[in-house]
A and B are shown apart, each in its own frame.
Chain A
Amino acid sequence: MRRPQPGRGLWVGTAVARPGSQSPGARLCSRDLQACACGHAGEGDGRCRCQPGVVARYAGRISGPLRDRIDLWVHMPRLDPAMYVNSAAPEGSAVVAARIAASRRRQVCRNGRPNSGLSGRALRAACALGPVEQAHAIRLAELEGWSARGIERLLRVARTAADLASCDVVDGSHLDEAERFRSPSCWRAGFQAAS
């Protein structure tokens, strides 16, 4: 288990809590984890040498409440070398950065602050879910067994996904997209299916 990125994050794994390293207003928590002790779990090539119980224990070190507070779960499997070598010119970082900047401008124009700074009420107003989307959000939340905090985070990520797509309203596809980032099931269910 590696140290999280410094800055706006939580420090886990150090014996002593360091208040200075947690910025109180930060809503973005980033963690950097390996899937298991050897790092090969879930790659599907039978290379992971960890005993199943070890993988489960390793994943279980991230407690539920902490999982709940992590906004984005992005899995970074080992890149297939052929995919790296053969793939067409990928999108440049500058292009992506411009898209992100545009999305942030949208957020600030609409609410006076980025989505990460919205209060719960302002966030719900900004999302303005229709009845169909509401039902869908409930279904997703029930499926994953989220807490209220988890649902709020889903909405925040969905609002951002819609902003990245330059959409004024959050629709079902944005919720679905956000669910991929919000779902630690890749982590939780993982050690059952892939161990």
Chain B
Amino acid sequence: MLGVQSLGPLAPRCVSEPVAGPRSAALPAGPPPPVQVLPDATERLEREAWVVLLSVSGLGPVSFGALLAAFGSARAVLRAATGPSGPMVLLEALAEAAGEADECRNRARFHSCPIDSGAVASSVQNDGSSRHRPAIGTDLATRICQAAVTGGKVLDEVRALGLTVVTLEEPSYPHRLRHVELPPPLLFVRGSVAALGAKNAVAVVGTRRPTDKGRLIAGWIGSAIARSGAMVVSGLAVGIDGAAHAAVVAEGGRTVAVLGGGHARLFPRAHERLAEGIVETGGAMVSELAPETSPTRGTFPRRNRLISGLSDATIVVEAGRRSGALITAGWALEQGRECFLVPGAFDSPASAGCHAFLRSFPDQAHIVSGIPELIEDLGLGGSEAGTDATVAEGIAGGSRRTGSPAASAPHAEQAAVLASLGPVERAIAEELARGSATADQLAVRTSQPAAAVLSALTLLELKGLTASAYGRYSPSGSLGRWPGPDRA
């Protein structure tokens, strides 16, 4: 609830007034007041009208913009919608205001992957003008009229969940997102709104079915970016997204999760605890959809343009041939952002999409060739981690391949952690830092008896240095960081 108050409260029981206002109000009631100079109370009502309108499923930025242009303000739209022949009024106004061709083209771009947007756009042009027009018409208009009557429910949900609403017209709207094509008019934020506008932001995305190595690399990249002081954006999905978020939370860094559905329909449910962690460490969960919107097949590609739009650069860790992460990468290029892909072995199905993308965009897409190199390429090398690293350099000594300070700091910390362990635990921890393994594999590789390996694993797990799943042990905590080129 704090968030709601800090950014203009959604005071209770306000919406009913304009919505249930004069029933016979003419549609555009006189010249609409300019939105920028509204006094406080009107501004609040207008903001609430935005929330009600944009909670209508099927009403995206394009149609919303058209309605706003036709009626002057969201309140006027709602007022017209509650009138006796609401749907017809809306339909007529839309038909006049929205340039039909623009509408079709924009909608096609909006819902499709930019990689093959050419194909989609041309297919829409063939039959698009006849196919899209009626869909916007009656159905949507009826839904808007229903929402205008029951609008208070959405606002109650927003309040109950403690969400902050940020509109495109407010200065707190994330500046990176403002500059993309068709920015979402409204963001529902849980957590810190300031996190969205962090100085540096990098998206880390990838497949929901990663290999162990991919998961490990996502964690390395996430924690390295967090240590450099930048914010990590991802999609809270299982797999790469979750590994990246979790690594940042473990570092105490800020990370932003862009949801594919509404806040009340958090998906996947398995990440509820991770979501709590994201908010607790000063990050945020963002959605452009109303709280009760269920995530569907169509909402995720749409969500992806927010992930890339909120970031300066997008990193794809692993992506299969048809992975949604490639859509995010495509959006990043489309939005003029940097795009990096982690190359894998060329016979690895989990990296096939990365390779295909790199091949398709040889000039724009970059390769991630190492953690220090990535931090350098992102231009994050010289931030606050610098002092930390010079100390670390002094302690650990030894030769470093690159002097990127943000990436070399973990070496010293990892060395200190390893030094604090007993001999058996240390041998196993060193082995684990190279990647996940089963207890049997660890026993063979370290030539230790199975009993000793098992008890050492319990100790490492108690110290938070490893986590087990299905009998495989993977590094976590400071072991989960990039161990350096000589040891990986």
Name the interface residues of B290-337: CB closer than 8 Å to any CB of A: 318
Stretch of A5-13, A18-26, A124-132, A169-177 with 4 or more beta carbons under 8 angstroms from chain B: A169-177
A177 and B458 within 8 A (CB) = yes
The answer to whether A176 touches B454 (Cβ under 8 A) is yes
List, in ascending order, chain A residues with CB within 8 A of B440's CB.
Answer: 83
Q: A46-B349, A80-B441, A185-B468 are in contact. Are A52 and B458 (CB under 8 A)?
A: no
Give the secondary structure class of A's interface. Answer: helix
The size of the chain B interface, using a CB distance under 8 A, is 37
In this assembly, does A4 line the interface, its C-beta being within 8 Å of a C-beta of chain B? Answer: no
From A37-45, A62-70, A115-123, the one touching the partner chain is A37-45
A176 touching B472 by the CB < 8 A rule? Answer: no
Q: Per a CB cutoff under 8 Å, which of A42, A43, A52, A140 touches B238?
A: A52
Q: How far is the CB of A36 from chain B (nearest CB, A)?
A: 9
Give every chain B residue within 8 A of A85 (Cβ-Cβ): none
Binary interface profile of B, 203-229, with partner A (CB < 8 Å = 1, else 0)? 000011111111100000000000000
Contact A83 B270, CB 8 Å, known A174-B455, A176-B455, A194-B470: no
Choose among A52, A181, A183 the residue that contacts B268 (Cβ–Cβ < 8 A).
Answer: A52
Q: In the complex, which residues 430-475 of chain B have their Cβ closer than 8 Å to any Cβ of chain A?
A: 436, 438-441, 444, 451-452, 454-459, 462, 467-472, 474
Residue of B nearest to A188 (CB): B469
Q: Does any Cβ of A come within 8 Å of B350's Cβ?
A: yes
Scoring B residues 322 to 361 as 1 if CB is less than 8 Å from chain A, else 0, what string do you get? 0000000000000000000000000001100000000000
Report B369 CB to chain A, min CB distance, Å: 22
In the complex, chain A residues whose CB is within 8 Å of the CB of B455: 172-177, 180
**Are the C-beta atoms of B441 and A189 separated by less than 8 Å?**
no
**Complex Cα spacing A148 to B244, Å:** 37
Q: Smallest CB-CB separation from B246: which chain A residue?
A: A193
Q: How far is the CA of A32 from the CA of B210 in the complex (A)?
A: 26
Question: Would you call A105 an interface residue if the criterion is a C-beta within 8 Å of the partner chain's C-beta atoms?
Answer: no
Does A186 touch B at the CB level, under 8 Å?
yes
Decide: A193 and B210 in contact? CB cutoff 8 A: no
Least distance between B58 CB and chain A CB atoms (Å): 27
Most buried by B among A43, A143, A183: A43
Contacts of B474 in A (CB 8 A): 193
Find chain B residues with CB under 8 A from A189 CB: 467-469
Using known A-B contacts A44-B212, A44-B472, A140-B458, determine if residue A195 contacts B451 with beta carbons closer than 8 Å. Answer: no
- The one of B208, B215, B456, B470 in contact with A186, judged by C-beta atoms closer than 8 angstroms, is B470
Contacts of B350 in A (CB 8 A): 46
Q: Which residues of B contact A173 (CB under 8 A)?
A: 451-452, 455
B454 and A194 contact, CB distance less than 8 A: no
Nearest CB of chain B from residue A35's CB, rounded to whole Å:
5
**How close is A177's CB to chain B, nearest CB, in angstroms?**
4
B470 touching A41 by the CB < 8 A rule? yes
Which residue in B207, B444, B457, B469 is a CB contact (below 8 Å) of A193?
A: B469
Given A44-B211, A52-B268, also A139-B462 (CB < 8 A): yes
A42 to B458, CA, bound (A): 19
Contact check, A52 vs B436: say whether CB atoms are below 8 A apart. Answer: no
Interface pair A177/B469, CB less than 8 Å apart: no
CB distance from B352 to the nearest CB of A (A): 11
Residues of A within 8 A of B318 (CB): 46
* A164 adjacent to chain B (CB < 8 Å): yes
Residue of A35, A139, A190 contacting most chain B CB atoms (<10 Å): A190
Query: Does A179 reach chain B (CB closer than 8 Å)?
Result: yes
A53 contacts the other chain (Cβ, under 8 Å)? yes
CB-defined contacts of B470 to chain A, threshold 8 Å = 35, 41-43, 75, 77, 186-187, 190, 194
Say whether A87 faces chain B, with CB atoms less than 8 Å apart. Answer: yes
In the assembled complex, A48 has its CB within 8 A of some CB on chain B: yes
With the chains together, A75 CA to B212 CA distance in Å? 17
Pick the contact of A176: B209, B210, B458, B469 (CB < 8 A): B458
**Binary CB contact string for chain A from 134 to 158 against chain B (1 if under 8 A, 0 otherwise):** 0000011001000000000000000
Q: Mark B362-404, 1 if CB is under 8 A from A, else 0.
A: 0000000000000000000000000000000000000000000
Q: Taking each of A87, A173, A176, A186, which has the highest tally of chain B beta carbons within 10 Å of its own beta carbon? A: A176
Are B458 and A179 within 8 A (Cβ)?
yes
When distances are taken between beta carbons in the complex, the residues of chain B under 8 Å from A186 are 468-471
Q: Is the CB of B211 within 8 A of A83?
A: no
Closest CB in chain B relative to A172 CB, distance in Å: 8
Chain B residues with CB under 8 Å of A53's CB are: 268
Cα(A35)–Cα(B472), bound, Å: 12
The winner among B349, B452, B454, B457 for most chain A CB atoms within 10 A is B454
A102 at the interface (CB under 8 A from B): no
> Do A164 and B469 form a contact, CB below 8 Å, given A83-B441, A140-B458?
no
* 8 Å CB contact of A194 from B268, B438, B459, B469: B469
Which chain A positions have C-beta within 8 A of B458?
A: 140, 175-177, 179-180
- A79 to B: closest C-beta gap in Å: 8
Could you tell me if B469 and A42 are in contact, using CB atoms closer than 8 angstroms? yes
In the bound complex, CA of A174 to CA of B452 (Å): 9
Let me know if A165 is at the binding interface, CB within 8 A. Answer: yes
Which of A164, A186, A194 has the most chain B CB within a 10 Å cutoff? A194
User: Of A44, A49, A180, which contacts B439 at CB under 8 A?
Assistant: A180
The CA of A71 and the CA of B229, in the complex, are separated in Å by 46
- Judged by a CB distance under 8 angstroms, whether A192 is at the interface is yes
A133, B349: Cα distance in complex, Å = 48
- For this complex, 19 residue pairs linking A to B, each with C-beta atoms less than 8 Å apart, are A44-B213, A44-B215, A44-B436, A46-B214, A49-B209, A53-B268, A56-B270, A75-B438, A77-B472, A83-B444, A87-B444, A161-B451, A176-B455, A177-B458, A180-B454, A186-B468, A186-B470, A191-B469, A192-B270
| Additional A-B contacts beyond A44-B212, A176-B457 (20; CB < 8 A) | A42-B469, A42-B472, A43-B470, A44-B211, A44-B436, A44-B472, A45-B212, A46-B210, A52-B268, A75-B438, A140-B462, A176-B458, A176-B459, A180-B457, A189-B467, A189-B469, A190-B469, A193-B469, A194-B470, A195-B270
Residues of B within 8 A of A (CB): 207-215, 238, 268, 270, 318, 349-350, 436, 438-441, 444, 451-452, 454-459, 462, 467-472, 474
The 7 closest A-B pairs by CB, nearest first: A42-B470, A75-B471, A44-B212, A176-B455, A176-B458, A193-B469, A194-B469
